[in-house]
Amino acid sequence: MKMKRGFISLFFVFAIVAYSGSLVFNQTEIVSDDAAWQEYPEACTTVLVGKDASSDGSVIACQTADCGMCDFTWHYIPAADHPEGSVRKIYHINQIRTWPPEVGGKWVKYVEGYTEVDIPQVPHTYAYQHAVFGHMNEHQLGIAESTIGCQRKMRNSTPSAVMDITTLTMLAMERCKTAREAIKLMGSLAEQYGYGFHDSGEMLAVADPEEIWLFEIMPVGALWTPKSGKPGAVWCAQRVPDDHVSFCPNESRIGEIDLDNKDYFMASPNVVSYAIENEFYDPESGEPFSWKRAYSPSPGSAAQTQGRRGRLWRLFSLVAPSENFDPAIDGMDLPFSVKPDQKLSVKDVIAITRDKYKGVKFDPTGGIKGGPFSNPNYFTGFQLDDQRYLGPRCISVPNVEYTTITQSRSWLPDPIAGINWIAFGAQDTSCYIPLYCGIEGMPESFRKGDHFVFDRDSARWAFDYVDYHTQVAYSYAIEDVKKAQEKWENITFQKIQVMDSAALELYKKDPAEAIAFITDFCLNNAKSVVDAWWKLGDDLLVKYNHFRIYDTETRRPGRIQTPDWWNRAVIEQDKLEPIPQPAAKPKIKREKNKEN
């Protein structure tokens, strides 16, 4: 997901997004000068986990959908049969744009972007779950996204680019069962019909129960037309080794490619020739062709950028600390993937999504940046005296719309094997909720909501409600939130173990009954968690009302204490003088009564 960020004042945590159809994030343009890293956007982070790198054999694809004003609702599209000769209409779907709820919202109004292009419909389309992108279908195909940008001259915002990244993901959800099928379909459609319009370079993690691939796709310039006879996109995909983990934090990740190794690489026919034609790569240089260096070079290290470009380094460091990755390593030189020191569970991936550099060099709460209550969301950047100062870009940022973790498992039937774990809003104050991929419906509260209209019937607003009441006295309130997360997420993981077994037994007897069973569980569990978060928000409001601490058990208020280092800083900054102490009263000496 892409966005351009504006400046945010010290005590505000809402991101500003600027977007137009022709103004798209381009990483190559951004890194063209010495201050490249300063403009690095707050866009999506993805985590890719191979089946032998996970603790239970799952294949995991995770995306933090960072934006700040995008549509955050979730929807279920049922499977369907289509008569012979029917067509599938193609729409331009803008990642960023939304419409007010009173006119139907995004997923009613997106049809206004009809391209006037229809493609042949397939006889049967699969059921799937989607938000901004298609994320998981009934066959456990999982997709996660991250914008990576491309060379400026590659952009194509003209109508000749019929396909955009959202549309491609939804077509893959409708038509494919495996990651390889999805990559080949998306690539071939982009080649035939042209890719771009709203989008530039994009990356997708594409997963199934056996493997996970990192797929990158880019436009081929505004002069392309179908009549040219050339591909309307250039794309490349690399498989993550089964025992490895890979990442994409808005940086192209595929380097040297070996198309003879068909088990690990796929690409469009113009993957190298297009780079040569446009002088992005010189075969006479003696250097091997590198996809990312040709099409989306983005130099910069965590150390050089004070953590602004630190996510890739941080992700590698979190899963493989024994490798001692140096924060001074340029991101372009970090490996494609790594074998983790310990196999990762879904819980581990959840913890990664909540990371804010705590305890390391780029910790945004270090010094006074986090304020008196160590709020990691305060210091995002500002301008002062014609100088710019930017804070680190954490994996977890407050402008996230939702996080999705798709879990594909090979040892169970598809409908009860795939799980889509969803967290609304900021991960540090949210709670992950599972949806089996075979459910036939979506919680009503997931399908509602808008950034600009408070809605008690929207799940997302329950989590924003908690987040809002956490920010004021963060170091205090976040402990209440952590207790709620631990309680509800642990309960859910325990329930999933029971549900897996029970649903499998039902499935052996009656698949339809098993699907009804898991649907009922997911809808009821989601309601319980959302209700719990509304109550948690109310409890935080009461507890920290008037910037005090109200103990509901003792019915006594207490004070929120600022730390000594903050108090000393205030004294120094404002030149405070202590209150004069009253003069000590002279002690009266009393003589003992000699007669006594």
Q: Which residues contact 35 (CB under 8 A, 6 or more apart)?
A: none
DSSP character string of 199-267: --SEEEEEE-SS-EEEEEEE---TT--GGG-S-S-EEEEEEPPTT-EEEESSS----B--TT-TTTEEE
How far apart are the C-alpha atoms of 506 and 515, rounded to whole Å?
Answer: 9
Size of the chain in residues? 596
Q: What is the pLDDT of residue 591?
A: 63
Q: What is the pLDDT of residue 590?
A: 67
How far apart are the C-alpha atoms of 434 and 50, rounded to whole Å?
Answer: 20
Query: Is there a contact between 154 and 218 (Cβ–Cβ < 8 Å)?
Result: yes
Query: Is there a contact between 240 and 61 (Cβ–Cβ < 8 Å)?
Result: no
Q: What is the pLDDT of residue 583?
A: 81
DSSP class of residue 95 equals S
How far apart are the C-alpha atoms of 501 and 573, rounded to whole Å?
Answer: 62
Beta strand pairing status for 202-207 and 234-239? unpaired
CA-CA distances (angstroms) from residue 4 to 7, 26, 409, 518?
A: 10, 10, 36, 40
pTM for the whole structure: 0.91
CA-CA distances (angstroms) from residue 447 to 56, 72, 297?
A: 31, 9, 38
Residue 521 parent element (H or E): helix 511-543
Query: Is there a contact between 372 and 563 (Cβ–Cβ < 8 Å)?
Result: yes
Beta strand pairing status for 202-207 and 212-218? antiparallel
Query: Is there a contact between 43 and 201 (Cβ–Cβ < 8 Å)?
Result: no
How far apart are the C-alpha atoms of 524 and 530, rounded to whole Å?
Answer: 10
Residue 494 parent element (H or E): helix 474-509
Query: Is there a contact between 508 and 406 (Cβ–Cβ < 8 Å)?
Result: no
How far apart are the C-alpha atoms of 184 and 424, rounded to whole Å?
Answer: 31
How far apart are the C-alpha atoms of 535 and 364, rounded to whole Å?
Answer: 29
Residue 12 parent element (H or E): none
Q: What single letter denotes the amino acid at residue 579?
A: I
How far apart are the C-alpha atoms of 71 and 467, rounded to whole Å?
Answer: 18
Please state the three-class secondary structure of 360-390 as a single string. CCCCCCCCCCCCCCCCCCCCCEEEECCEEEE
Per-residue pLDDT of the chain (596 residues), as tens digits, is: 765 433 333 332 323 222 233 333 333 333 333 333 334 455 899 999 999 999 999 999 999 999 999 999 999 999 999 999 999 999 999 999 999 999 999 999 999 999 999 999 999 999 999 999 999 999 999 999 999 999 999 999 999 999 999 999 999 999 999 999 999 999 999 999 999 999 999 999 999 999 999 999 999 999 999 999 999 999 999 999 999 999 999 999 999 999 999 999 999 999 999 999 999 999 999 999 999 999 999 999 999 998 999 999 999 999 999 999 999 999 999 999 999 999 999 999 999 999 999 999 999 998 889 999 999 999 888 889 999 888 899 999 999 999 999 999 999 999 999 999 999 999 999 999 999 999 999 999 999 999 999 999 999 999 999 999 999 999 999 999 999 999 999 999 999 999 999 999 999 999 999 999 999 999 999 999 999 999 999 999 999 999 999 999 999 999 999 999 999 989 999 999 999 888 877 777 666 555 54
**Phi and psi dihedrals of 562, rounded to 5?**
-85, 145
How far apart are the C-alpha atoms of 475 and 340, rounded to whole Å?
Answer: 31
With CA atoms as reference, report the closest residue to 76 among 3, 205, 173.
Answer: 173
Evaluated on CA atoms 500, 503, 508, 514, the torsion sign reads negative
Q: What is the pLDDT of residue 379?
A: 87
